[in-house]
């Protein structure tokens, strides 16, 4: 319990640092948002009035404080580009990206866990080299290229969905069906990585003395793999999967563009191109929270799985 609290405090400290750095960095480069919003022809008084209204005349720390307070109450400031509150703008996009991420994560887990175990079971077999080559190839295909191919194959040739025409979350079934294809594009290289990671973890574990003992006592290999090895190999896998959650979000930044999905990633790219800093800032902090929270969750879960970690032992 104490440890859980400690981890949560660390999460808060990390997030405070990340958000402050983001805030300060974007504050430094964004120049004067008031001029940016009103254009260069605006009169001096108008700019000054807007600066006062936006609270730009306060020192950095005060502005950070009020921004942070706003973050918790859902008030993230105004978008320069859309002249809309950032929170209102981002809320539906967060939902879309979350669905995409979860779908992709599910695919990775469902595909790579059995494949990883199978390839560890038959490690050193005649097909090993070819298998490793295929695995390496899957890792080399960038999600946006897979995305282009998938949207051609399933969208144009087979007409299973209409590329670029996202149905919106009001129709959850249709939206999820649309998201299957981008999720697949994101999942492919990452699933290959997970398979390789699982394979090497399990193979390393299989070479340990307790496995030899278990086998010499007459247990069959599959049983030992399932009952003994898997539990011991699980902790690094959980950590890796948490990292995967972070990587999927990064993948979705690009893939949302390929499939024209109105999610956080597409918004981020549009805001970077349009120098819409309040939006960029909010998205960066949201994504950072996602990454750090996934890491913390993996840590806590790892301690549930492996009690040795609780007494400070190393696996």
Partner 1 sequence: MKKRRKNTMLRVGLILTGLLAALILLGCFWTPYDPEAMDAAAKFLPPCLAHPMGTDSFGRDIFSRVLKGAGTTFGIALSTVAMGGALGILIGAVTGYFGGVVDDILMRLGDVITAFPSILLALVVISLMGPGKKSNVVLALGLVFIPSFARVTRTAYASLRDVNYVQSARLMGASHSRILWLHILPNTRQVLLPALTIGFNNAALAEASMSYLCIGVTPPDASLGYMLSEAQGVFQRAPWYALSTGLTLVSIIFGVGLIGQGLQREKGGEV
- 170-209 residues near partner 1, rule: CB under 8 A: none
Taking CB under 8 A as the rule, does residue 90 contact partner 1? no
- Range in contact with partner 1 (rule: CB under 8 A) among 31-39, 59-67, 177-185, 253-261: 253-261
DSSP letter at 261 equals -
Taking CB under 8 A as the rule, does residue 258 contact partner 1? yes
- Nearest to partner 1 of 33, 295 (CB atom): 295
- Nearest to partner 1 of 100, 253 (CB atom): 253
Question: Is the Cβ–Cβ distance between 72 and 233 less than 8 Å?
Answer: no
Q: Which of 20, 26, 82, 240 binds partner 1 (CB under 8 A)?
A: 26
Provide the phi-psi class of 295: left if phi over 0, else alpha when psi is between -120 and 50, else beta: alpha
How far apart (Å, rounded) are the C-alpha atoms in residues 100 and 63?
34
Contacts of 167 (CB under 8 A, 6+ apart): 174, 175, 178
At 224 the three-state DSSP class reads helix
Pair of tokens at residue 55: 């609270």
- Range in contact with partner 1 (rule: CB under 8 A) among 13-21, 33-41, 94-102, 115-123: 13-21
Taking CB under 8 A as the rule, does residue 288 contact partner 1? yes
State the number of CA atoms in the 13 A half-sphere of 193 facing the CB: 17
Q: Which of 96, 150, 197, 268 binds partner 1 (CB under 8 A)?
A: 268
Q: Which of 3, 122, 127, 137 binds partner 1 (CB under 8 A)?
A: 137
How far apart (Å, rounded) are the C-alpha atoms in residues 267 and 265?
5
- Nearest to partner 1 of 49, 270 (CB atom): 270
How far apart (Å, rounded) are the C-alpha atoms in residues 165 and 178?
9
Residues that bind partner 1 (CB under 8 A): 14, 17-18, 22, 25-26, 29, 129, 132-133, 136-137, 139-142, 144-145, 148-149, 152, 156, 243, 246-247, 249-251, 253-254, 257-258, 268-269, 272-273, 275, 280, 284, 287-288, 291-292, 295
């Amino acid at each position: 319990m104490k440890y859980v609290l400690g981890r949560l405090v660390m999460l808060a400290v990390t997030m405070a640092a990340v958000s402050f750095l983001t805030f300060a960095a974007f504050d430094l480069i964004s120049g004067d948002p008031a001029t940016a919003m009103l254009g260069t022809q605006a009169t001096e008084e108008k700019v000054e009035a807007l600066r006062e209204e936006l609270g730009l005349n306060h020192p950095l720390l005060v502005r950070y404080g009020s921004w942070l307070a706003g973050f918790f109450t859902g008030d993230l400031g105004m978008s320069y580009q859309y002249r809309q509150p950032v929170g209102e703008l981002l809320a539906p996009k967060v939902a879309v990206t979350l669905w995409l991420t979860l779908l992709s994560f599910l695919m990775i887990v469902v595909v790579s866990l059995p494949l990883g175990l199978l390839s560890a079971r038959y490690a050193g077999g005649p097909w090993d080299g070819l298998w490793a080559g295929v695995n390496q190839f899957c890792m080399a295909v960038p999600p946006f290229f897979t995305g282009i191919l998938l949207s051609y194959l399933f969208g144009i040739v087979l007409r299973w969905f209409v590329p670029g025409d996202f149905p919106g979350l009001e129709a959850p079934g249709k939206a999820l069906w649309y998201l299957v294809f981008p999720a697949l594009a994101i999942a492919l290289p990452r699933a290959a990585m997970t398979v390789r990671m699982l394979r090497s973890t399990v193979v390393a574990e299989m070479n340990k003395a307790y496995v030899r003992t278990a086998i010499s006592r007459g247990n069959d290999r599959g049983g030992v793999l399932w009952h003994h090895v898997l539990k011991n190999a699980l902790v690094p896998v959980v950590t890796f999967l948490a990292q995967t959650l972070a990587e999927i979000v990064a993948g979705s930044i690009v893939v949302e563009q390929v499939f024209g999905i109105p999610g956080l990633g597409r918004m981020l790219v549009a805001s970077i191109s349009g120098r819409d800093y309040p939006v960029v800032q909010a998205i960066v902090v949201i994504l950072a929270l996602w990454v750090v929270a996934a890491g913390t969750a993996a840590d806590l879960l790892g301690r549930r799985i492996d009690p040795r970690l609780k007494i400070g032992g190393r696996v």
